[in-house]
Amino acid sequence: MRPFLLWLILALMVAAIAHGKGRSAWLFFLLSMIATPVVGFAAVLLIPPHPLRVQEELRKGTLRKCLNCGHVSRSEANICPKCLQPRPEIIDVTPIDAP
């Protein structure tokens, strides 16, 4: 009974990670239950986030593209994790209406 419970908990963790990446949680849950949770973890970690999820996060401001290499990462990062170049500060400029 305990090995099955552990299997189920790990499969649910795989489903949660897949859901966070914008992928089908049910598909990865079933993959983890039929194969093993190790296969499910490997699959969900190798598949990139859904492009619509990335676009949504870019609009919200939680993700940001590097101006040098185009890599998308968290907006809190001051240095790009791919090219290791410092990111310039984004200044919010509100347009002034000319009379």
Q: Where are the domains of the chain?
A: 2-47, 49-89
Q: Contact 64/54 with Cβ under 8 angstroms?
A: no
pTM of the model: 0.61
**Rounded to whole angstroms, how far apart are CA atoms 7 and 83?**
39
Q: What is the pLDDT of residues 7-38, one digit of tens each?
A: 999 999 999 999 888 888 999 999 999 998 89
- The count of other CB atoms within 10 Å of the CB of residue 80 is 20
**Letter for the amino acid at 68?**
N
Q: What's the confidence (pLDDT) of residue 76?
A: 77
